[in-house]
Structure 1
Amino acid sequence: MKTKITEENLSLISLVLRLSIGTLFLGAGIIKVQGGIDGNITYYMSIFEKSIFPHALVKAHASVIMIVEFILAVWLFSGVQLKKAWFASITILISLAFGMIFVYKFDVVSDNYIYVLISCLGVALTPYDSYKIYSK
């Protein structure tokens, strides 16, 4: 049985991608809530202790990443200005992957680049996405 690719199917696929990456960000943010921003900073500082990155940069990133993850999750779920949401997601995912290269966490790096690829597909499907909060 052949499945015809229709705009409705592409719209549904776009929604699934949004929910997938959105829940990834939501889950990552929720995990960080327990330790709070201070706990997140402590964790990041321990991981990047011997990396080439300045401590101030690591601390700044650790301070905001939890909030950024929540914002990206809600933004992707809403579908408002979706192309911008996807590009913001891609930027964060690449920054996370890039950082992990310098602490030799290549499994995390490869996972993040798969998420980047999924997000790029999300960008391509944005014109077909009809599941969004209406905004003018």
Structure 2
Amino acid sequence: MNDLLDKKNLKVVSVLLRVIVASLFLGAALIKVSGGVSGTIAYYSSLFEKSMLPMFMVKVHASVVMFLEFILAFWLISGIRLKEAWVASGLMLISFAFGMVFIHKFDVASDNYLYAALCCLGLLLSKFDNFGLQQILGDHSHE
């Protein structure tokens, strides 16, 4: 009985983590919509102009980041291939943190590393979480 209750609680925690991290990505993507890809590239270029990161890497990252944030937000919410979604989300957040280190924004970097740690927790809890499109569509397998 206690084991069943614990699994239900872990499922709830997992779903809440998905909503938390997905809302982070969704909010970040929505902010970028008004400036579009060109505005995001211009903003990133100004941030990283004095860093040692190659500008072509900065521009490539800036040109896809908004789309990746939307994709990751909806992927986490969907619950489909959740383990892979958590890994992809964690890697994205690590890339943000890594970039912030190069422009000496250590507070922002540490925030992103904490978000990446939440992705690790989400990955650990994903085995308890079958709530999402898979459940709605009738596919209960956990890959």
TM-score with structure 1 length normalisation? Answer: 0.95
Could you tell me which runs of 5 or more consecutive residues in structure 2 were left unpaired when the two chains were aligned: none
Which has the bigger relative contact order, CA under 8 A and spacing at least 6? Answer: 1
Aligned to 2:23: 23
Task: For residue 61 of structure 1, report the CA deviation from its aligned partner.
Answer: 0.4
Alpha-carbon distance in 2 for matches of 1:65, 1:14? 25
Aligned to 2:61: 61
Alpha-carbon distance in 1 for matches of 2:5, 2:51? 47
Alpha-carbon distance in 2 for matches of 1:5, 1:116? 27
Aligned to 1:43: 43
2:110 aligned with 1:110, yes or no? yes
Alpha-carbon distance in 2 for matches of 1:17, 1:78? 13
Alpha-carbon distance in 2 for matches of 1:117, 1:5? 25
Amino acid at match of 2:79: G
Task: For residue 130 of structure 1, report the CA deviation from its aligned partner.
Answer: 2.2
Could you tell me which runs of 5 or more consecutive residues in structure 1 were left unpaired when the two chains were aligned: none
Poorly superposed stretches of 4+, deviation over 2 Å: none
Over aligned residues, Cα RMSD in angstroms? 1.2
Aligned to 2:34: 34
Alpha-carbon distance in 1 for matches of 2:117, 2:69? 18
Alpha-carbon distance in 1 for matches of 2:107, 2:5? 34
Give per-residue Cα distances to partners, 1:63-106, cap 9 Å, x unaligned: 00000000000000000000000000010000000000010111
Alpha-carbon distance in 2 for matches of 1:32, 1:5? 41
Between the aligned residues of both structures, percent identity stands at 52
Task: For residue 5 of structure 1, report the CA deviation from its aligned partner.
Answer: 5.3
